[in-house]
Amino acid sequence: MPKRMQAPKKKTAPLLKKDHALHIVDGRTLKEYTVPIQHGSIHAPDLRQIRASETDFGLLSYDPSFQNTASCKSGITFIDGNAGILRYRGYPIEELAGNRNYLEVAYLLINGRLPGKNQLAEWLHNITYHTMLHENIKKFMDDFHHDAHPMGMLVCTLAGLSTFYPEAKAIFDTDLRQRQIHRLIAKMPTIAAFAYRHSIGMAYIYPSNDLGYAENLLAMMHRPSWTTDYTPDPVLSKALDLLFVLHADHEQNCSTEAMRTVGSAHADPYTCAAAAAAALYGPLHGGANEQVIRMLKEVRTKENIPKLIRQVKAGRRLLMGFGHRIYKNRDPRAEIIKKVASDVFAVTGRNPLLDIALELEKVAISDDYFIKRHLYPNVDFYSGIIYQSMGFPVDMFPVLFAIPRMSGWLAQWQEMLLDPEQRITRPRQLYVGSRLRHIPEAEQPS
Ligand code: ACO
């Protein structure tokens, strides 16, 4: 080492003690702030104390599309996107699927525990009791154009129901709130089936109290109007019920956020559910399974898969049914669905689109583009193929998603209402528009 050069002095670490807090130095003022950390997060309003000057509004966090913002504390659904874990109220989805039916899971989501024998009997009674639609709702649905999309009909009918049940505005009355929860869960299959029958110009089939939840939907959709003697295939009813379990909730997704946001203004649950269903209608959310089938039909043969992949990689289109905001490794629902597919195909015959889907998955998951971006099949990649094999038209796919998601929406809505920390949803913005300006005098009316 040359003489004049000295070994660098050891930097002494600042005397900081470990604590559950974030220590921030604002480079504009060199002031220090301490913000507590709870549940691995900071309370964003705590940032408001960080101000560049006396008149400064305070620091905001900018998070377009809420990519790193928790909007609530929730005890309903747990997801670990990296590990591919999904739990409802603590129970792994793999244990619930196949062991508990959809209505038991709906009870779990809303009440926080699985129902005992008596609770289940009462719950089933309440749901069965409310499956009918008011005759005027039927007339209202009749007036849609013959080729109206059933999801559009569902959104409007849900909003319309609010005018039939004005008592639903009493959202803080526990009994009345429970009654609307029963009604909404009970009426979803009936609305869905009526929308379908309307689209094919066939008479509506009324719900039957003797049938299970998924079974009733299948009967109302497919029973010929000249007979009452129709029992859906038990394998298909069971598979549909399992698909309902998988779709029942998925924490703070786009439609649930819509439910909570509209609910935060204290709108009645029918109006909130219409908003949630409207969000689910979008092709990036519940409309994706419909788009998957359209895409697979367009591909037609395995030979056309490389062309599709090239278009996706060139950024010209999305690979529908791939990717997820939360799951970056695997979607556990997609894996369960893949297994259900074989039960369904044993009854319906193999859907040729499955072979294209399996090959497409194989090609995509071994391609660098998809690996780098953590893109894997999501729940919608295979659900559409099953629905199609069961005889549902593609237009009905998002409706089949909405039916079970109603229980999740309601559980989240109720949790939001009873959470003392929640207020009306009102995000902030960063204004980047024109500064103050005035209409030139010449343009002002004389
Ligand atoms: N095909 C091709 N590229 C994709 C896809 C896809 N399906 N999904 C994401 N990417 C790419 C994006 O272009 C982006 O690439 P870049 O980094 O070069 O810009 C990167 O992957 C990250 O994607 P984001 O758009 O940032 O992911 P985000 O979390 O915002 O979107 C979403 C998630 C909306 C699900 C998206 O993956 C998508 O559009 N998928 C197709 C639609 C779909 O299947 N939706 C169903 C979701 S599941 C559900 O709602 C039940």
Q: Tens digit of pLDDT for each residue in 365-377?
A: 999 999 999 999 9
pLDDT higher than threshold 70 for residue 16: no
Rounded average pLDDT over 126-142: 96
How far apart are the CA of 302 and the centre of ligand 1, in A? 23
- Max intra-chain CA distance, the chain: 105
For each of the domains in the chain, give its residue range(s) and CATH number, in order of start.
14-60 (no CATH), 83-283+394-417 (1.10.580.10), 288-389 (1.10.230.10)
Residue 445 pLDDT greater than 70, yes or no: yes
Q: Whose CA is nearest to atom 50 of ligand 1?
A: 285
The type of residue at 415 is: E
pLDDT of residue 326: 87
Which amino acid residue places its CA nearest to atom 32 of ligand 1? Answer: 324
Going by pLDDT thresholds of 50, 70 and 90, the confidence category of residue 12 is low
Does the pLDDT at position 2 exceed 60?
Answer: no
Please state the atom number of ligand 1 nearest to the C-alpha of residue 315. Answer: 13
From 285, 343, 367, 374, active-site residue: 285
Q: Which residue ranges have their beta carbon within 6 Å of ligand 1?
A: 284-285, 288, 312, 318-325, 373, 375, 378-380
- Nearest protein CA to atom 12 of ligand 1, as residue: 373
Give residue-wise pLDDT tens across range 147-170: 999 999 999 999 999 999 999 999
Out of 365, 375, 376, 399, mutate this one to test ligand 1's pocket (max ligand atoms within 8 Å of CB): namely 375
Residue 413 has pLDDT above 60, yes or no: yes
Give distance in angstroms: CA of 323 to centre of ligand 1. 5
Q: Higher model confidence: residue 13 or residue 325?
A: 325
Mean of all residue pLDDT scores within the chain: 93
pTM of the entire structure? 0.90
From the CB of residue 148, how many other CB atoms can be counted at a distance below 10 Å?
16
Write out the E strands in 103-193.
none
Compute the distance between CA of residue 242 and CA of residue 265 in angstroms, rounded to an integer: 34
| High-pLDDT (> 70) share of the chain, % | 96
The stretches of 249-351 forming alpha helices (DSSP H) are 254-264, 269-280, 288-299, 305-313, 332-348
- Residue with CA at minimum distance from ligand 1 atom 21: 373
pLDDT band at 360 (very low <50, low <70, confident <90, very high): very high
Atom of ligand 1 at shortest distance to CA of 250?
51
Residue minimizing CA distance to atom 8 of ligand 1: 323
- Distance CA(140)–CA(134), nearest Å, equals 10
Mean pLDDT of 13-23: 79
Residue 4: pLDDT band (50, 70, 90) is low
Q: How many whole angstroms from 67 Cα to the centroid of ligand 1?
A: 13
324 noted as active-site residue: yes
Q: How much is the average pLDDT of 184-195?
A: 98
Please state the rounded mean pLDDT for residues 30-37. 96
Residue 9: the pLDDT is: 58
Q: Are 175 and 390 in contact (CB under 8 A)?
A: no
Closest-CA residue, ligand 1 atom 2, reads 318
Measured distance CA(390)–CA(149) in Å, rounded: 19
Ligand 1 atom 16, closest CA: 373
* pLDDT at residue 77 tops 70: yes
Percent of the chain at pLDDT > 90 equals 83
Distance 324 CA to ligand 1 centre (A): 6
Task: Read off the pLDDT of each residue in 99-107 and give the average, rounded to a whole number.
Answer: 98
Out of 246, 330, 373, mutate this one to test ligand 1's pocket (max ligand atoms within 8 Å of CB): namely 373
Selecting among 241, 268, 380, 395, the annotated active-site residue is 380
Does residue 7 carry a pLDDT above 60? no
Ligand 1 center–CA 284 separation, angstroms: 8
pLDDT surpassing 50 at residue 1: no
- 288 pLDDT higher than 80: yes
Q: 149, 250, 324, 395: which one is catalytic?
A: 324
From the CA of 111, how far away is ligand 1's center (Å)?
Answer: 33
CA distances from 438 to 35, 432, 434, 443, 446 (A): 42, 18, 11, 10, 16
Tokens of 61: 């966090």
Active site residue 285: yes
Instruction: Answer yes or no: 175 catalytic.
Output: no
**Cβ atoms 309, 367 nearer than 8 A:** yes
- At residue 271, the pLDDT reads 98
Q: List, for residues 202-250, the tens digit of each pLDDT value.
A: 999 999 989 999 999 999 999 998 888 888 999 999 999 999 999 999 9
How does pLDDT run across 248-278, given as a tens digit for each residue?
A: 999 999 999 999 999 999 999 999 999 999 9
Q: Ligand 1 mean position to 38 CA, how many Å?
A: 30
* pLDDT greater than 60 at residue 15: no
What number is the average pLDDT over the span 89-97? 97
Q: Looking at residue 262, what is its pLDDT?
A: 98
